Amino acid sequence: NLAIEPGERSPEELIKSLRTGFYVTEVFGQGVDMVTGEYSRGASGFWIENGELAYPVAEVTIASNLKTMFLNMVPADDLDRNFG
């Protein structure tokens, strides 16, 4: 199991710190190879340019390796846990 703790900066601060990037607001589909850790999933969100949300991005694929993704993750301070 993996538990992610809230970060120290707000989503707005993290966005402002980026020259370019992709702010993911929604993911869909499933695609994880549990043997290799390869990860692929559909996503939507906003493209970031010069620290600002520039335009919406829909129906793209994000892909990586789970180990790489978790090692480079920077969580924001707005983490909300829901246990059900």
Structure confidence at residue 84 (pLDDT) = 66
Has this prediction a pTM greater than 0.75? yes
Provide the percentage of residues in the chain whose pLDDT is more than 90.
68
Handedness of CA 17, 52, 3, 31 (dihedral sign): negative
Tokens of 56: 């919406």
Quick: pLDDT tens for 16-58.
999 999 999 999 998 899 999 999 999 999 999 999 999 999 9
